[in-house]
Amino acid sequence: MTAEEAAGPPGPKVLRLLIFVGAGFLFTVGINKWREIERKQAQKQQGFYQQPEILSSDNAATKSIK
């Protein structure tokens, strides 16, 4: 007997392969989504720290208009 005869018809093998590929696809999509969320969070946080304070008197113009 060969290994193919003992395992049965190829249907379950194909089904297992499709499930494995589908799971890999879903994990890849999830990882990419997680990275996108983390990247947006880092950009938002970096932009928060880089914004100049507009309302402070140090940044106000001191020259009077005539």
More confident residue, 1 or 51: 51
Q: What average pLDDT score do residues 3-19 get?
A: 77
Q: What is the pTM of this model?
A: 0.53
Decide if pLDDT at 12 tops 80.
Answer: yes
* Mean of all residue pLDDT scores within the chain: 79
Q: How many residues does the chain have?
A: 66
pLDDT number for residue 36: 97
